[in-house]
Structure 1
Amino acid sequence: MFNLQNYSTQNIKNDVLSGAVVAVALVPEAIAFSFIAGVSPVVGLYAAFIIGLVTSLLGGKPGMISGATGAVAIVFVSLGLNVAELHPNLDREALSMMILHYILLASIFAGMFQIMVGVLKLGKFIRLVPQPAMFGFVNGLAIVIALAQIKFFAPSNIDQLNSWSEIVLASFQEHTLMYIIVVITMLLMHFLPKLTKAVPSGLVAIVGITIIVFATGAETKLVGELADLSNVSFPSFVMPDTSLFTMDSMMIIIPSAILVGLVGLIESLLTLSVLDEMSGTRGSGNKECIAQGIGNICSGSFGGMAGCAMIGQSIINYTSGGLGRLSSFTAAVLLILLVVSFSDIIAIIPVAVLVGIMFMVSIGTFEFSSIRRIKYMPKSDAFVLIAVTVITVFADLA
């Protein structure tokens, strides 16, 4: 828990403003990861709110951001395929609802597994990860974060194009304004902190460019085009489907839950280690395991899917000045308030602004020093660094 009496006015301001930046940036991320998992965007938004709220209060690292992630969503893709095989006679709508109930129950079981890991104090073993592996993980995540933005620039007629040169040319012609907004956002985020750090540069970019685009009527892709957020309400308790407590269903749910729990803890504890280096302070791995577990149980119980720490959003928070629990708490609370009460405002934010922010996060995340060091490393360390980078990219652990 956090105590406002321990905060200075400057720290409160920094945490609240950085939390606001993260809250806005979380919306398209949560929507995108919901699509990956094959569920409604509401499921990802609830996960971002609930897991983010729980870990902000109970987590092992102040300021770390948690929510729905690609790494966990990918596990749910295979779960969905197994559910479809087990229930071949369901129509599309009924199958989607059935998959959701499997995901909710798997999320709860994953949380129980994570709490067990924390109680047994097994989280400390992540500290044994060698530095080359850590560099590889961070570099891989930076690449994944950047690659995840490319889809927003795909031309509408991409299926009719025969070469990469045609795709690139069509993309520039169709999304010229998006490219311009991305560049302006990146320039703002790079140069504004050198002039003033009174307000996070990401927040200035989001508010300023949104106002300009709205006032001029410029045509560019908006957050509202990614999903309909008009019917989002506050999460409510969802009773687990008791019909899933059969041997066949459990044979799907339990392995998926364990895999989700492991993937979530690995990414969360590695993210914690990255933030330890950035902040110069040491977080508690075991405490984070328990917090992630409680967060996933609560998420699955209130209609959200499992998740874990988010490296990109956590770095946005830290670089925007959010170093305390109030920042991640603000991000979680503002997220749900924005999508429930101010969905019309969220809907008009240009996607390109958020893409520009994520590109800057990618650049800031990549350990460029590791490229210089690699020629001085033992061959075994260099191999580990490169191998972990490649595995992280192809496993899409963002």
Structure 2
Amino acid sequence: MTSFISHFRSAWCADAGEARREILAGVVVALALIPEAIGFSIIAGVDPRVGLYASIAIAIVVSLLGGRPAMISAATAAVAVLVTPLVRDHGVDYLFAATILMGLVQIVAGLLRLDLLMQFVSRSVITGFVNALAILIFMAQLPQLTGVTWHTYAMVAAALAIIYLLPRVTKAVPSPLVAIVVLTIVAIWSGMPVRTVGDMGRLPEGLPSLALPQVPLTWETLRIILPFSLTMAAVGLLESMLTAQIVDDMTDTDSDKRRECMGQGGANIAAALVGGMGGCAMIGQSVINVTSGGRKRLSTFVAGAFLLFLLAVLGPVVGRIPMPALVAVMVMVSIGTFSWNSIANLRRHPPTSSVVMLVTVAVVVATRDLAQGVAAGVLLSGIFFAGKVRRMFAVERTDGVPVRYQVRGEIFFASVDRFTRAFVAEAGRAVVIDVSTAHFWDISGVAALDKVVARLRRDGSVVEVIGYDRASADLVDRFALHDKTGVELGLAPH
């Protein structure tokens, strides 16, 4: 019992004061989720309740099963844009079936430890991802600021003033929540001509119900939904893993990303079973949650539960929340999300790191696709890394009897050309190639050594290779065509 209580306090809340902060943070997130979920439903071409029900189910289930406390997951644009053709061509039930399969794929990905692929995403790519997302969040607010009256701009300014100035007076209540409540009261009392949440789309009435997708269980159905499910699962996990890393950094805590993969999968299955679309972690709402005081699972659970309460009980009131208040909150999120230090670091960091960051930002903003931007950044990071390691290589020739070549550095696919060009014709002289300070990484390196040995022997030279470390020796023994690495070739005791 003591262990259970300790675990509960650590994961959910430690005391009444922390519980109050977690609950208030979750309330702010729930209010901010409503227009987002409706907007994403419109993008996917489905009824607003599909996005709203998905946000409820995903937030609640992830709070129970996920591996990153305080991170908010719900319906997202990254997944919504992928399913538009599926909904258009086959209907919403195929969307639900694809979402269930998406969840199963994510659970398998967690079991296979695909979360470890995050180790290959550099800090420059993560910074670019964050900056691009901040830009996209800001750009997403622009439609709410065009073709409107001056009242909208005045309310946005007033909300931003509350958000940034109230914490100087008190932090007892999250300032975004105060801004939303105050501006809602003002809008209802004054009747200002501003857009409201209700103008975004019809809010659902009542509670979601459990139902299976009405699709035939055939190979043809699988053929239709599998490509969408795989893409949704990959994009969802990518955004969730990156967001988890960002929340790790914001809270200076670690997370269980394998558990998060499987939690995301379970949440998407649950969303589909209550008539929701797929989703993943949301960096904007996660930033709102953390900056509002959320640190534990309770804030994530409250976000989903309070959203359900709002739609089921307070639907008419929610529909009258002015959009300028929520726009101000998202502007705050975009400002807080952007890594402003990265601008100054453009001059201080290595040029290759800055290029990776800028390319990631440019591709994400241009394509509105986070996956493409991150893929471009990772690919460019790999190319720059290979180029850097390629230069960590040298061959030094010492004339004598025999002629001695001392090889230093890493021999792999990117350095083999320089390796082979470093050896000259020795016209029948004895040659020793000392690789004791080198390492062969792949079959390209072994093939290059084969090429050098064969060329020298054609010229009449007697060639001896010495000094292999254990890993290089194993690789040469398996794949080399020239003499193997036995004792006569001087295997180095590494």
Both proteins in one fold, TM over 0.5: yes
What's the counterpart of residue 57 of structure 1?
Answer: 64
- Contact 1:76–1:103 under 8 Å retained in 2: yes
What's the counterpart of residue 266 of structure 1?
Answer: 238
What's the counterpart of residue 93 of structure 2?
Answer: 101
Q: How many residues of Structure 1 are paired with residues of Structure 2 in the alignment?
A: 363
Tell me whether 108-117 or 175-184 shows the greater mean CA deviation. 175-184
Report whether the alignment pairs 1:178 with 2:152.
yes
Output aligned runs, 1:98-247, within 5 Å. 98-155=90-147, 174-229=148-203, 231-243=204-216, 245-247=218-220
Tell me, what secondary structure is at the counterpart of 1:67? strand
> How far did 1:62 drift?
0.7
Tell me, what secondary structure is at the counterpart of 1:243? coil
Letter in 2 for 1:43: V
Give deviations 1:84-125, integer Å, cap 9, x for gaps. Answer: xxxxxxxxxxxxxx4211110110001000000111111122
Compared CA separation, residues 275 and 189, structure 1 to 2 (3 A): same
Segments of structure 2 that go 5 or more residues without pairing to the other structure are: 371-494
Q: Which runs of 4+ in 1 moved over 3 A?
A: none
* Whole-angstrom CA distance in 2 between matches of 1:391 and 1:254: 26
Q: 2:320 aligns with which of 325, 348, 352?
A: 348
Between structures 1 and 2, the one with greater helix share: 1
What's the counterpart of residue 328 of structure 1?
Answer: 300
- Contact 1:144–1:397 under 8 Å retained in 2: no
Output aligned runs, 1:384-395, within 5 Å. 384-395=356-367
Tell me, what secondary structure is at the counterpart of 1:135? helix
Compared CA separation, residues 23 and 350, structure 1 to 2 (3 A): same
Give deviations 1:206-225, integer Å, cap 9, x for gaps. Answer: 11111111111222111111
Letter in 1 for 2:207: F
Letter in 1 for 2:355: F
What's the counterpart of residue 263 of structure 2?
Answer: 291
Compared CA separation, residues 360 and 236, structure 1 to 2 (3 A): same
* Whole-angstrom CA distance in 1 between matches of 2:368 and 2:100: 23
> How far did 1:130 drift?
0.5
* Whole-angstrom CA distance in 1 between matches of 2:213 and 2:186: 46
- Contact 2:130–2:337 under 8 Å retained in 1: yes
Between structures 1 and 2, the one with greater strand share: 2
* Whole-angstrom CA distance in 2 between matches of 1:19 and 1:397: 28
Q: Larger Cα Rg: Structure 1 or Structure 2?
A: 2
> How far did 1:6 drift?
5.0
* Whole-angstrom CA distance in 1 between matches of 2:305 and 2:164: 28
TM-score (normalised: structure 2): 0.71
Segments of structure 1 that go 5 or more residues without pairing to the other structure are: 84-97, 156-173
TM-score (normalised: structure 1): 0.88
Give deviations 1:188-215, integer Å, cap 9, x for gaps. Answer: 1111112111000011001111111111
* Whole-angstrom CA distance in 1 between matches of 2:13 and 2:51: 33
> How far did 1:363 drift?
0.2
- Contact 1:109–1:257 under 8 Å retained in 2: yes
* Whole-angstrom CA distance in 2 between matches of 1:396 and 1:182: 25
CA RMSD of aligned residues (A): 1.6
